[in-house]
Amino acid sequence: LDARVRGAHVAYSKVRLAEGATIDEVTGDPTSTVVPAPGSEGWDISNQWSLTYDSRANFNGISVGSKLVASIEKSLLALGSDYDYTLLTFRAERGARVLARHNLVVKTQFNAGRNVPFQQEYLTGGTAMRGYINGQLRGDLQAAANAEYSFPLFSIKGFSMRGLGFWDSAYTTFLDGEDRPDRDFLPGAEKRGLDPFKNSVGLGVRMYLKQIVLPLLGLDVGYGVERNAFEVYLAIGLTD
């Protein structure tokens, strides 16, 4: 059981139009020259509580066991927060050994928020949704799942390399977007139904040292199914 209080001051020094957008789409005024900030500025102070169960064991790139996480985060108006929001998160992970040295890992998560400010919105894209640009999709409701199957390629003394195949899926949308005109100009804010459901598939490699549990280096190539585009990801010091 963990608890923390966090605080930050939010400000927007550079605000640019999204690719393909025009100023009148954002402001409704074709003569305007100022792009509005994506949200309000001020102090963001919150308290988070999380409960975690973790029975996983990792050795030579193989993860076995389960991890469950439930958390709630709420802004602290009493400490001067300029935002009033609530975030709920549920995550589950299961790793299983296959064929002695192969590994199947499945992860799922569900996130939902109320009155979520721009800086706390849930992001989809990047290493958790390969095939999409980092933070390409955002919203205040998110459901995601990842499945990875890895296998050994070779091992030299304490150094080893593993290959993997993956499938990522996510549903990210603005639950209260219709009631928040200040978010309407963001790409994707108007999406409803199945449109926010995205998938990606791809291949990657992981490099390990026997003395270190987590991979030193990861390289993934992901294909965004609905986007019909490839992305390459290079990560150093990967975590879980």
**Per-residue pLDDT, 239:** 63
**Per-residue pLDDT, 178:** 56
**Per-residue pLDDT, 59:** 82
The rounded distance, in Å, linking the Cα atoms of 14 and 123 is: 20
Residues in the chain where the model's pLDDT stays below 70? 176-192, 213, 238-240
**Per-residue pLDDT, 240:** 61
The rounded distance, in Å, linking the Cα atoms of 2 and 21 is: 43
The rounded distance, in Å, linking the Cα atoms of 36 and 237 is: 37
**Per-residue pLDDT, 21:** 78
**Per-residue pLDDT, 116:** 92
- First-to-last alpha carbon distance for the chain, in angstroms, is 18
The rounded distance, in Å, linking the Cα atoms of 175 and 189 is: 9
Question: Cβ contacts of residue 181 below 8 Å, gap of 6+?
Answer: none
**Per-residue pLDDT, 30:** 78
**Per-residue pLDDT, 93:** 97
The rounded distance, in Å, linking the Cα atoms of 173 and 95 is: 29
**Per-residue pLDDT, 235:** 85
For the stretch 128-148, pLDDT in tens is 899 999 888 888 999 999 999
Question: Cβ contacts of residue 226 below 8 Å, gap of 6+?
Answer: 197, 198, 199
**Per-residue pLDDT, 102:** 96
